[in-house]
Structure 1
Amino acid sequence: MNTVTLLVAHLLWLSAFAQDTDRDNTTEPLSTYVSRPDLKAPALNVTVQDSYDTGYIFICPYRATQTGPYIFDKAGNLVWSGYNVTEQNEEAQINTHELRICAYQGSDHLCMWKGTQPSGHGLGHSIILNSSYDVVQTFGTGNNAPLNDFHESWVIGDGETALLTAYNPIQYDLAAYDINSNPQWLTEGMFQEVDVSSGEVIFEWHSSDHVDLSASYVLPGESEVSGNGTSATSGWDYFHINSIAKSSTGDYLISARHTSALYYINASDGSILWELSYGSPNSTFSFTTQFNFTFQHHARFLSENDTRTIISLFDNASNDFNETATQSSGMVISLDLEAKTATLIDRTYAPIPGGILAGSQGNYQVLDNGGTFIGWGSVPAVSETNAAGDPVLYATFGSYVYNYRAYTYNWTGRPSDNPALVTPAQPENATNPLLAYFSWNGATEVTQWRLWGSVNNETGFQELDIVDKQGFETSWSSGNYTPFIFVEALSSEQESLGNSSTVGVGRRAGNGTVVMPTSVPLNDTISPSSTASSSSSPTGASGTGAAQPSQTGAAVLVEGDAGYAVYTGLVLGGIAMVFAML
């Protein structure tokens, strides 16, 4: 046995987990993981890294191999795949959007929208997950309104209420727009503020009561999402509401993409207190500097007083059919409520030559440190700047997938399941090397892994090694064979966070299909000659516990392609070991 043979065995084992070839590696690069073969996560290509703010990246890519909510660190490593949270195995058409941190009942939670996605909008509901990634609350629209849409699902006030958009088809006279069907259909924009616990509707607003159809820049049948007005499922979407924010006074700021306008709504009667739009004769404000915005998303309040309001928005400047600029951008705009003027005070472009022109989706997050974070919508990329406006992060994840919004937040995840551990099947003798791959999906506090081994799984376990966590999945190898192992996750304070199940190294059944019995620690002496490294792929499972093997298997053998990959990997690993003994 030598280092070359060990390396060959390692490579043969990993070859079973090559990237999915169904799609091009440029259009949808994927990461795979030996310890979690069920996961195929987007691979982030980080090309700018320079003193970025703390926090993780939160995205929900769709049109993806595994659509769902994801958390990454800013080095591009997967932290959490929420693919199974959206029940993708049973509901292939389900999407998730709007993954963000929300305060709920006094602590940070994850909030998101989940549902089906007809052209241009969604029909679904909102969910809240705790720090163990368990669903603790589900809610949606009330008053017999359509199911809530994905464009806004914002939990506010410590989780007491939420702001929700909906797209409501109504019969409407559209003869002036050359619609000849009987009846004719309009899709109006509506929003509600609802009580998260009871479902009570606190406020409801309908665009057709307040904004004339002539305000729209998108006519029936003019775009992929406009609708043609001939049926309830293809009503003319003249408004296209895509964000809601609540002011300190209790009134609402909404954004409408198809009218290229923001509206400030009176919470008492639903009337429009002011409108901000570059091209509309109804705009309350004149623009004092040479700027405009069109087809925008994600309008937010930054500060307010009696005379001035500062807002932010993402200016798409395009709807894929019409363009008003060559680049999309994030904007900060000051509104003088007395002089009725709008002034651009900051603007952020993508930190690449020529910028990005996103024809749909996108958001602009102003950070507490004065920097910004942007999700580029239909262009799968994220970027961050510091307070001086210098780019400190830029990452892409292909070109095929879309991502509605992206955010950055701090987050502490403590999964309720156990770490995942997989080893290739190896002959039971003391001359062959030991390979192991381990991860813990969603666990943010793990900094090291302690490996435990036993000669016979009956006389006890001995510590084999402590290695640093590297990326999502860590790989470990040793020149000394150990028949039974498990791994223990450690915090930066050397606190035990959780353990994997025991794996019988000499048996394929030990890699997740049979839970090996645990035993009393310590007795047999095992030499800890070993090395650790980060695997080229990421994902894991979860759990808590002391330094004893978990009673539940973590590296479960799954059906379908992933199960086949496990089987193939075991066979290839076994072949490699046979060659190693020749």
Structure 2
Amino acid sequence: MRLNTLFGRNDQPRKRVGLRRLLPIFILGIGALALFYNYALPHLFRLRFHLGLSRYDLGFYGFAPSQRYHSFHEQSPIVQISPAGAKCDQRYTFLAPRGDSVEHPGPMIIDAKGELVWMKYNRGTTQDFKVQHYKGQDYLSYWQGDEEDGHGRGSWYMLDSTYTPQYIITPAGELEGDLHDIQITVNDTAILSIYEPIPADLTSVGGPEQGWIYEGIVQEIDIESGELLFEWRSSHTYHPEDSYQELAGKGHERTLGFDYFHMNSVDKDDQGRYLVSGRHTHTITCIDSSGDVLWTLGGKQNKFTDLSEGTATGFKWQHDARWHGENQITIFDNVVNDAAYNTEASHGLSLELDIPAREAKVSQRYDHPLGIMAVSQGNLQVLDTGNVLVGWGHSSAFTEFSHDGEMICDTHFGASAWFNFGRIVSYRVMKGSWVGSPDTLPDVAMVGDGIFVSWNGATEVVSWVLEVWDGDNLEKMTFVAVDKVERSGFETRIPFPADDAISYYRVAAIDAKGEVLGRTEVYSPRGAPPEDTSFGPPLGVTAIMIFLLVCLLCGLYYAVTRQRSHIGALYQLVRSKEDDSDSDSERGDSSV
């Protein structure tokens, strides 16, 4: 028997079969290109690769590199500070990281080196974390609740120096607090931001006649009694046609209203003038104590002449409008929103207003050297040193500038090449002073031949002292100090003595005066549970690597099996005439 390849008269049918096989592959290819163009390509444009990126910013350590601890169960961001030797403001930084790459979201305090000072794991959404002054005392304030359709439904919390909630603030009436802002005034009142769905005619923007909008409400209340002192509603001044936000199918239901105004900051000066930022109308509105609008800056109702070639009134999708004197305000100009990626970067603005003449000009602009596009969130804080801190919101970074706009210190708490994906964000980032004295005990864990100790929120600890039981009286235990170690960050390691006679130990926290601030519970080194120190790479990065490896193996398997089937299609065993005659003779022989 011979091997004969399939040529000659069988060649033409094989070609027709090949074309029929190519047709579905061609159709699948067109579909794949369409999917790539519509879904993959827009994400590729969001990448921000450029020369000089570190391994941190490229994402080698994950989208949001995090620090784990032995004595503390939560994780905190690992930050990258530049340039080398940057002289950052040495006060604490207040932020509330959240996002798909954040395992433990919630309010957080870090020091100038990026070391954790305090954090609280909140399962809901936490925003607008900062220090505020009330009745001669500093409080930590933040909003916590559920995020719904771009706004919030929750309450504001005020924590004292022990991190105990002393006040829970809610709006007056049957309303729920919005996540965007709370400001405590010099008169010890609170200004709140609120969203409420109300019926509205949306035919002017292509919507239903009996539709729904989200109205922005400003309330000022007495914190102690909850009494309503002032209220202003956006629908009395602005209408759906004033918005730059697309309707996008919204407005047909109460729970999916048209967010035409999107109020995201409220402020009040010592003259009693309220300042309200409307992101979707591109407006900053000044309101007097009677609720009358004094003027509007920006947007379709702008009342000011721009002396800075459109920059002073042409801000878009902005956040965080604040008073700084009678005629000076600052804003964070996002420039872009979720649906408007372009090449123009977000920036901070300081604006000087001539209110009687209705003229506005830019007195200073604060730009990030990488040209960050913060599609949402963000803030600008003028420090008492004259420097300016800009939080980039949707992009996990905050930058300190000199008053003249020179960058002094740039801090990333996420990989910058992936900023536009929003894997880790913080609505605002603020600087301030704080003294924390938690009413909890320090935490400790023994790992190998060392003790790891931390105290979440304690700001005055400068050193730790290891104390061991003297072995004399078990009922009235006396401890002796055997080692003192300077505090080396949120968590400090203390070498444990190689002495089998030690039965019990504890660790004391010491302040700058040498006084004991608190002690851990008493522990036995023999009863210490084993600690898992194999942290490994971030879970998200591991999952992506496994997925890519599986895809690669599947591709190799497909390529090999496809090649084998292709060879089998080209070369087949066929019978020759001689084989046929041999077969006939064999059949004849067998019949005899």
TM-score range, shorter chain: 0.7 to 0.9
Residue-by-residue CA offset, 1:261-312 (whole Å, 9 max, x unaligned)? 10101221x22110110x53x21111101323111100001111xxxx1100
Residue-by-residue CA offset, 1:61-96 (whole Å, 9 max, x unaligned)? 12221110000001010000121xx3x3xxxxx111
**Which residue pairs with 2:27 in the alignment?**
none
Percent identity reads 33
* Cα distance in 1 for residues equivalent to 2:329 and 2:306: 14
Contact 2:466-2:494 within 8 A present in 1 as well: no
**Which residue pairs with 1:265 in the alignment?**
287
Contact 1:421-1:503 within 8 A present in 2 as well: no
1:444 aligns with one of 459, 462, 473: 459
Cα 1:24–1:123 change in 2 (3 A) is farther
2:190 aligns with one of 162, 169, 185: 162
**Which residue pairs with 2:12 in the alignment?**
none
**Which residue pairs with 2:277 in the alignment?**
255
* Cα distance in 1 for residues equivalent to 2:408 and 2:92: 14
* Cα distance in 2 for residues equivalent to 1:259 and 1:388: 29
**1:479 Cα deviation from its structure 2 partner:** 5.0
**1:198 Cα deviation from its structure 2 partner:** 1.1
Which stretches in structure 2 are left out of the alignment for 5+ residues?
A: 1-58, 540-592
* Cα distance in 2 for residues equivalent to 1:508 and 1:235: 56
**1:323 Cα deviation from its structure 2 partner:** 5.9
* Cα distance in 2 for residues equivalent to 1:30 and 1:140: 34
1:492 aligns with one of 500, 506, 512: 512
**Which residue pairs with 1:41 in the alignment?**
76
**1:422 Cα deviation from its structure 2 partner:** 1.1
2:409 aligns with one of 385, 389, 393: 393
Contact 1:210-1:271 within 8 A present in 2 as well: no
**Paired residue secondary structure (1:214):** helix
**Which residue pairs with 2:264 in the alignment?**
242
1:407 pairs with 2:430: yes
Cα 1:140–1:325 change in 2 (3 A) is farther
Relative to its length, the structure with more helix (as a share) is 2
Which region of structure 1 is more displaced relative to structure 2, 400-409 or 380-389? Answer: 380-389
Number of aligned residue pairs: give it: 459
**Which residue pairs with 2:120 in the alignment?**
82
1:135 aligns with one of 165, 171, 174: 165
| TM-score of the superposed pair, with normalisation by structure 1 | 0.75
Residue-by-residue CA offset, 1:461-493 (whole Å, 9 max, x unaligned)? 221111110010001224523332211111112
**Which residue pairs with 1:54 in the alignment?**
90
**1:162 Cα deviation from its structure 2 partner:** 0.8
Residue-by-residue CA offset, 1:493-524 (whole Å, 9 max, x unaligned)? 2121111111100113699xxxxxxxxxxxxx
Cα 1:490–1:338 change in 2 (3 A) is same
**1:154 Cα deviation from its structure 2 partner:** 1.6
**Which residue pairs with 2:344 in the alignment?**
326
Write the mapping of 1:135-214 to structure 2, written as runs, cut at 5 A: 135-145=165-175, 147-157=176-186, 160-180=188-208, 183-214=210-241
**Paired residue secondary structure (1:503):** coil
**Aligned amino acid, residue 508 of structure 2:** E
* Cα distance in 1 for residues equivalent to 2:450 and 2:135: 44
Residue-by-residue CA offset, 1:543-566 (whole Å, 9 max, x unaligned)? xxxxxxxxxxxxxxxxxx9xxxxx
**Aligned amino acid, residue 260 of structure 1:** H
**Which residue pairs with 2:553 in the alignment?**
none
User: Which structure has the larger Rg?
Assistant: 2
| TM-score of the superposed pair, with normalisation by structure 2 | 0.74
Write the mapping of 1:41-120 to structure 2, written as runs, cut at 5 A: 41-48=76-83, 49-63=85-99, 64-83=102-121, 86=122, 88=123, 94-120=124-150
**Paired residue secondary structure (2:381):** strand
* Cα distance in 2 for residues equivalent to 1:142 and 1:414: 32
Contact 1:299-1:314 within 8 A present in 2 as well: yes
Contact 2:204-2:240 within 8 A present in 1 as well: no
**1:339 Cα deviation from its structure 2 partner:** 2.2
* Cα distance in 2 for residues equivalent to 1:410 and 1:536: 36
**Aligned amino acid, residue 186 of structure 2:** G
* Cα distance in 2 for residues equivalent to 1:355 and 1:480: 55
1:126 pairs with 2:156: yes
* Cα distance in 1 for residues equivalent to 2:387 and 2:133: 22
2:478 aligns with one of 460, 478, 490: 460
Contact 2:205-2:240 within 8 A present in 1 as well: no
**1:324 Cα deviation from its structure 2 partner:** 7.7
* Cα distance in 2 for residues equivalent to 1:177 and 1:390: 43
1:359 pairs with 2:368: no
* Cα distance in 2 for residues equivalent to 1:453 and 1:215: 71
**Paired residue secondary structure (1:483):** coil
Contact 1:504-1:510 within 8 A present in 2 as well: no
Contact 2:506-2:519 within 8 A present in 1 as well: yes
User: What is the RMSD of the two structures over their aligned residues, measured on CA atoms?
Assistant: 2.3
Residue-by-residue CA offset, 1:526-576 (whole Å, 9 max, x unaligned)? xxxxxxxxx999xxxxxxxxxxxxxxxxxxxxxxx9xxxxxxxxxxxxxxx
**1:407 Cα deviation from its structure 2 partner:** 0.2
1:219 pairs with 2:246: yes
Residue-by-residue CA offset, 1:93-128 (whole Å, 9 max, x unaligned)? x11111111112211111111110012111101110
* Cα distance in 1 for residues equivalent to 2:343 and 2:190: 34
**Aligned amino acid, residue 186 of structure 1:** I
Cα 1:233–1:365 change in 2 (3 A) is same
Contact 2:90-2:111 within 8 A present in 1 as well: no
* Cα distance in 2 for residues equivalent to 1:178 and 1:478: 72
**Paired residue secondary structure (1:303):** coil
Contact 1:294-1:324 within 8 A present in 2 as well: no
1:417 pairs with 2:440: yes
**Paired residue secondary structure (1:284):** coil
**1:50 Cα deviation from its structure 2 partner:** 2.0
Contact 1:215-1:259 within 8 A present in 2 as well: yes
Contact 1:422-1:503 within 8 A present in 2 as well: no
* Cα distance in 1 for residues equivalent to 2:211 and 2:400: 45
**1:212 Cα deviation from its structure 2 partner:** 2.4
**Paired residue secondary structure (1:313):** strand
Contact 1:317-1:326 within 8 A present in 2 as well: yes
**Paired residue secondary structure (1:334):** strand
* Cα distance in 2 for residues equivalent to 1:386 and 1:330: 12
**1:385 Cα deviation from its structure 2 partner:** 1.9
Cα 1:347–1:324 change in 2 (3 A) is farther
